[in-house]
Amino acid sequence: MNGEWPLQDSLELGALPDAVPCARLHTRHLLREWGMNWLIENAELIISELMTNAVNAARAGGSIGPVRLWLLSDSSQLVIMVWDPSPLPPVRINTSEQAESGRGLRLVATLARQWDWYAPLQIGGKTVWALL
């Protein structure tokens, strides 16, 4: 995997409300360090949605941690991966324009070139990923 994605980083956080802004800030600084400033805004939006979903899924299962973020890059594209302990798949909800929530995965689908999820057999839970 290192050959395909020479730039790699990960972050493990407790499933607490502050996990989302911590993940965004970490990503912003890392992408600047990697010289990928043009991806910062979209990456932060996607991470906000995926980390919020991960924190909510973990807390719904009675856990406060961990949730994990991985960032992989080849200097021209970025893979964002977020893991949480819930085995339940992410669900896109049909919402109205006025809805306060429920549009996160629609936003991810709009901003990312691709996105999907899988259940890692070794550790359980699920990983949702997006490619920018």
CB atoms within 10 A of CB 73: 21
> Does 23 have pLDDT greater than 70?
yes
Per-residue pLDDT tens over the stretch 87-106:
999 987 766 565 555 678 99
Structurally, at CATH architecture level, domain 7-131 sits in: 2-Layer Sandwich (3.30)
What is the Cα 31 distance to its own chain's centre?
15
User: How much is the pLDDT for 50?
Assistant: 96
Per-residue pLDDT tens over the stretch 73-89:
999 999 999 999 999 99
What is the Cα 103 distance to its own chain's centre?
15
Domain boundary assignment for the chain: 7-131
